[in-house]
Structure 1
Amino acid sequence: MVLVDFGAAKHATVTALAKTGTTIGSAAYAAPEQTFGRAVFASDLYSLGVTCIHLLTNIEPFDLYEPLESSFAWRDYLVNNPVSEELGCILDKMIQSSIKLRYQSAEEVLQDLGKSRGVREKKGGEINKQKRRLGDTETRRIEIPTTNISLITTFNKHADAVYAVAFSPNGKTLASGSGDKTIKLWELSTEWEIGTFGGSWFSGHAQTVRSIAFSPTGKTLASGSEDKTIKLWNVRTLEKFRTIKGHANSVNTIAFSPDGKTLASGSGDKTIKLWQVSTGKEQQSLEHLFDVFSVAFSPNGTILASGSWDYIIRLWDVRTGQQICTFDKHLFDVFSVAFSPDGKILASGSEENTIKLWDITSLGKEGNREQGIGNREQKTLTGHTNSVNAVVFSPNGQILASGSKDKTIHLWDVSTGELLYHWQAHSDSVLDLAISPDGQTLASGSADGTVKIWQLK
């Protein structure tokens, strides 16, 4: 038994809640808003969460706090008191600095604790599987990976973080872009490195490669870099045949249109540019308020989605360049966006540790575009404990994979929002993900400098 002086318990009255400027309790356990004398009900949940991680680690809260990350690194000190991933996620949500990201009531905490009952870690396996209990109702069957998900191989020939990974359209090769300024091409059947794009200073990028994309035919590979350029490469010869210039800052993201005629790029200069692939000429320039981190074409190529540092997702009419609508429910930077294969759902990953699914079915009706109808948040997926850097749909649209700064990969059931599997995939942030065209293989690139290939079926 452990006796803890909570130090801040008192009856909350309407009068007390209306007052500001009073702080009670120990500073190490107090929520950030209490520092300014603005305690709310969620403040007590923060204090309770901090108390829990203190008891689990036997380390003072101030010593667990990482100022640069604005979070508690309590998991690193769980020597004799391991906790389940589910309980860990609950505690992480209790101690969020932002009130909006924290539990708002004890009932919410109890509800999630109830959901975690019956969840068991699969001993001896590589993946934790979260199971639903539906009473006497049978669990809906869905084509998902089995519990035999396994690591096929690790590519470790990059000399810096791997920011981008992409499968060729036929699924036989994988490309990876890195902070070492190169793009490598890997043959998956033999696990050999086929070659390196940009191996020499005069042909390659001068700075970090942030994004890569294969053309629909697989004959061309495009790369975007912090050197402000886009380069187009011949996949067969590994030779560069065009350098596209026009951005005034880092090219963070690129995507080919489904017909391969247009290339979209998003930059730290706050713009999205559409380029004619055959000539390299700029066709249109679209604007965000801040840096653009991700762009994605809809499956039919008529809509372009973009995510930005301004917390906003914008949908654009590719033909006219006009903004269709905005999604503004994220509280922090939007790092990744992806369309479902049928074009009905847009997924977005954010710095606030969440993934949101948006219903965009009504955007297919021309009459609804001007009014922005379809700006409807369908689901919010929670489970990551740090920024979500990458989201990608499986080819059949049933599964969404997400990669995070928390070093894990999560697999979600798109229709229900249920977390199906999660595992620590790397020793550092997962920066990008790609799923093979047949849906059987997942590739992950990481800040630890490696590319990992996972067998999903």
Structure 2
Amino acid sequence: MKLAGLKSVENSHDESVWAATWVPATETRPALLMTGSLDETVKLWGSDELVLERTNTGHSLGVASVAAHPSGLIGASASLDSFVRVFDVDTNATIATLESPPSEVWQLRFNPEGSTLAVAGGGSASITLWDTATWGLVATLPIPRPEGPKPSDKSGSKKFVLSVAWSPDGRRLACGSMDGTISVFDVARAKFLHHLEGHFMPVRSLVYSPTEPRLLFSASDDAHVHMYDSEKKSLVGAMSGHASWVLSLDVSPDGQALATGSSDRTVRLWDLNMRAAVQTMSNHTDQVWGVAFRPPGGTGVRSGRLASVSDDKSISLYDYS
């Protein structure tokens, strides 16, 4: 497996690019890359040439996270202005605006069926679940403290929720916190199941394997990537190699590779069978906040793609084979 650089867009936004995700292909268009930036905008880019298709405005502060509905028709963006904006990808029309108190939105993800939007609740130490048919709040999942809290930890700041991920069957939801703990929930019962431990610094990104539904990957400021059996509560592997915080990660659609972005300015490709980094890409000149593999599907799409975004305002696109 390898990455080959295809295209980079310098100054893709006016400020740091903090988020990236792929909008799945529809019957009428190929997949699009969606990026969110500190410049308060969300941009949509053509799949292979990174041609700017449209710019979405509507936030009054930087965009921290973007998410795409599995239908490819709806996008969502979370901003430091405490609002989640839900919009039509092809027309940019606003579908809903979801309000959260200050610093209560850090990351958001649609479930695989597209029926629920999970919003990582920042300082509220909770996940909120929104019904995508009505855009009403259906549940709030509070993050319990790990057993044996330190007596000095009187504030809830350590439970600040940074990341969220759905299992491929939509039955489990995992979230990562500032204190390094990962919490797993049974979504149907809105019930906390257990913590996954091993990190001692913020967990900024989580993703389940698309081919091994129990396998959960985490990226942390401790410079490590962990692999968990999320059902057995066991750490099954740890990978290291980045020189600094691991800010983002994604698993390839074939489940064979992992991509990570780091504050050491690199993107790494990891062979999950070898549990080792097989390639380091140094396209960016500042920390890499987002990496995302393009989902399969769409006409004329033959090969894999990976995108990365950075504080250097650029987007890079790679061929994954």
Structure with the higher fraction of residues in strand conformation: 2
Q: Which runs of 5+ in 2 are unaligned?
A: 144-155, 297-302
Tell me how far 1:325 sits from its aligned partner.
1.1
* CA distance in structure 2 between the partners assigned to 1:393 and 1:407 by the alignment: 19
Partner of 1:447: 311
Tell me how far 1:396 sits from its aligned partner.
0.6
- C-alpha deviations, 1:371-409, integer Å up to 9, x for none? xxx111011101001000001000010001111000011
The letter for the 1-side match of 2:181 is I
Residue in structure 1 matching 2:21, options 166, 181, 189: 166
Partner of 1:415: 273
* CA distance in structure 2 between the partners assigned to 1:273 and 1:308 by the alignment: 15
Partner of 1:176: 35
Partner of 2:117: 263
Residue in structure 1 matching 2:54, options 176, 184, 195: 195
* CA distance in structure 1 between the partners assigned to 2:254 and 2:67 by the alignment: 20
* CA distance in structure 2 between the partners assigned to 1:244 and 1:421 by the alignment: 40
Secondary structure in 2 aligned to 1:227? coil
- C-alpha deviations, 1:181-231, integer Å up to 9, x for none? 000011124432111111xxxxx0111101001101010001111111111
Over 3 Å counting, the alpha-carbon distance change for 1:193 and 1:327 in structure 2 is: same
TM-score, length-scaled by structure 2: 0.88
Is contact 1:225–1:250 with CA below 8 Å preserved after alignment? no
The letter for the 1-side match of 2:292 is A
Partner of 2:189: 320
* CA distance in structure 1 between the partners assigned to 2:65 and 2:10 by the alignment: 18
**Counterparts of residues 30-429 of structure 1 (less than 5 Å):** 144-145=1-2, 149-170=4-25, 172-198=31-57, 204-269=58-123, 270-288=125-143, 289=156, 290-342=159-211, 343-360=213-230, 363=231, 374-429=232-287
The letter for the 2-side match of 1:441 is R
* CA distance in structure 2 between the partners assigned to 1:240 and 1:404 by the alignment: 33
What's the % identity of the aligned pairs?
31
* CA distance in structure 2 between the partners assigned to 1:327 and 1:383 by the alignment: 22
* CA distance in structure 1 between the partners assigned to 2:8 and 2:100 by the alignment: 38
Is contact 2:251–2:259 with CA below 8 Å preserved after alignment? yes
The letter for the 1-side match of 2:117 is L
| Divergent runs of 4+, >4 A | none
Is contact 1:295–1:337 with CA below 8 Å preserved after alignment? yes
Q: Which has the larger radius of gyration?
A: 1
Q: Compute the RMSD of aligned alpha carbons.
A: 1.4
Is contact 2:168–2:208 with CA below 8 Å preserved after alignment? yes
- C-alpha deviations, 1:4-37, integer Å up to 9, x for none? xxxxxxxxxxxxxxxxxxxxxxxxxxxxxxxxxx
Is contact 1:357–1:378 with CA below 8 Å preserved after alignment? yes
Is contact 2:167–2:214 with CA below 8 Å preserved after alignment? no
* CA distance in structure 1 between the partners assigned to 2:10 and 2:87 by the alignment: 22
Tell me how far 1:246 sits from its aligned partner.
3.2
* CA distance in structure 1 between the partners assigned to 2:6 and 2:60 by the alignment: 33
* CA distance in structure 1 between the partners assigned to 2:234 and 2:273 by the alignment: 15
* CA distance in structure 2 between the partners assigned to 1:169 and 1:145 by the alignment: 23
Is contact 1:172–1:189 with CA below 8 Å preserved after alignment? no
* CA distance in structure 2 between the partners assigned to 1:391 and 1:422 by the alignment: 14
* CA distance in structure 1 between the partners assigned to 2:250 and 2:12 by the alignment: 25
* CA distance in structure 1 between the partners assigned to 2:31 and 2:113 by the alignment: 21
Q: Relative contact order: is structure 1 or structure 2 higher (C-alpha 8 Å, sep ≥ 6)? A: 2
Structure with the higher fraction of residues in helix conformation: 1
Secondary structure in 2 aligned to 1:251? coil
Secondary structure in 1 aligned to 2:84? strand
Q: Which runs of 5+ in 1 are unaligned?
A: 1-143, 199-203, 364-373
Tell me how far 1:258 sits from its aligned partner.
0.7
* CA distance in structure 2 between the partners assigned to 1:409 and 1:394 by the alignment: 14
Tell me how far 1:287 sits from its aligned partner.
2.3
* CA distance in structure 1 between the partners assigned to 2:164 and 2:10 by the alignment: 27
Secondary structure in 1 aligned to 2:106? strand
* CA distance in structure 2 between the partners assigned to 1:358 and 1:425 by the alignment: 30
Secondary structure in 2 aligned to 1:273? strand
Tell me how far 1:286 sits from its aligned partner.
1.7
- C-alpha deviations, 1:398-453, integer Å up to 9, x for none? 00111100001111111221211112231000001100113611101101111111
Tell me how far 1:151 sits from its aligned partner.
3.3
Q: How many pairs are equivalent?
A: 295
